[in-house]
A and B are shown apart, each in its own frame.
With several copies, the nearest count.
Chain A
Amino acid sequence: MENPALDRFEESQPRFATIKKNVEALLFASGSPLTVQTLASALSGSEPVAVATIEAALAELELEFPRGGDRGFELVRLAGGWALRTSPSCQVAVSALFELPDDVSRLSPAAVEVLAIIAYLQPASRRQIAEIRGVNSDSPVQKLLERELITEVGRAQSAGSAVLYGTTPRFEAMYGLADLDDLPGLEGFAVTEEQKDDLRRRLGLLGAPE
Chain B
Amino acid sequence: MRTLDLELDVYQGPFDLLLSLVLKEEIDLLEVPLLDIILAYLDQMEAEGTHDYWDDMTEFLLLMSLLVEVKSRLLLPGASLELDGELTPEEARDQLLTRLFEYSKFKSASESLRHLAELNCGAIMRPPAGDSRRRLPPLEEIAGSGDVMELRDGLVRLLDSKRQPDAAHLAQIKVDLRRQISIVRGVLARRGHFSFDTVFGGEEPLVQAVSLFALLNLLAKGEIRVSQARAFGDITVRVAQDRKTA
On whether A and B touch (CB less than 8 Å), the answer reads yes
Q: Report Cα–Cα, A134/B14, bound state, in Å.
A: 6
In chain A, positions 119-141 with a C-beta closer than 8 Å to chain B are: 119-120, 125, 127, 130-136, 139
- B1-34: CB near A (< 8 Å → 1, else 0) gives 0000000000011110000001100111110000
B15 surroundings in chain A (CB, below 8 A): 133-134
Q: Report Cα–Cα, A139/B127, bound state, in Å.
A: 22
Please judge, given known A-B contacts A31-B126, A202-B29, whether A100 and B59 are in contact too, CB under 8 Å. no
Number of interface residues of A (CB under 8 A): 75
Stretch at the interface among A4-12, A46-54, A56-64, A84-92: A84-92
B190 at the interface (CB under 8 A from A): no
* A83 in contact with B22 (CB, 8 Å): no
A205 at the interface (CB under 8 A from B): yes
* Residue of B23, B52, B105, B127 with highest tally of chain A CB at under 10 A: B105
* A85 in contact with B123 (CB, 8 Å): yes
| Minimum C-beta distance from B32 to chain A (A) | 9
B149 surroundings in chain A (CB, below 8 A): 184
Please judge, given known A-B contacts A101-B135, A116-B106, A189-B106, whether A133 and B158 are in contact too, CB under 8 Å. yes
* B148 in contact with A102 (CB, 8 Å): no
Q: Report Cα–Cα, A182/B144, bound state, in Å.
A: 13
* B146 in contact with A102 (CB, 8 Å): no
In chain A, positions 63-101 with a C-beta closer than 8 Å to chain B are: 74, 83-91, 94-95, 98-101
B145 at the interface (CB under 8 A from A): yes
* A175 in contact with B151 (CB, 8 Å): yes
Q: Report Cα–Cα, A100/B106, bound state, in Å.
A: 27
- B86-130: CB near A (< 8 Å → 1, else 0) gives 000000010001011111111111101110111111111111111
- Which residues in B have some Cβ–Cβ distance to A below 8 Å? 12-15, 22-23, 26-30, 52, 55-56, 59-60, 63, 70-71, 74, 93, 97, 99-110, 112-114, 116-130, 132-139, 141-152, 154-164, 166-168, 171-172
Q: A125-B168, A203-B29 are in contact. List 20 more A-B contacts (CB 8 A).
A: A85-B123, A87-B123, A104-B142, A112-B150, A112-B154, A117-B106, A135-B60, A136-B59, A139-B52, A155-B157, A159-B168, A162-B168, A173-B143, A176-B117, A186-B156, A196-B101, A200-B97, A204-B30, A204-B71, A205-B97
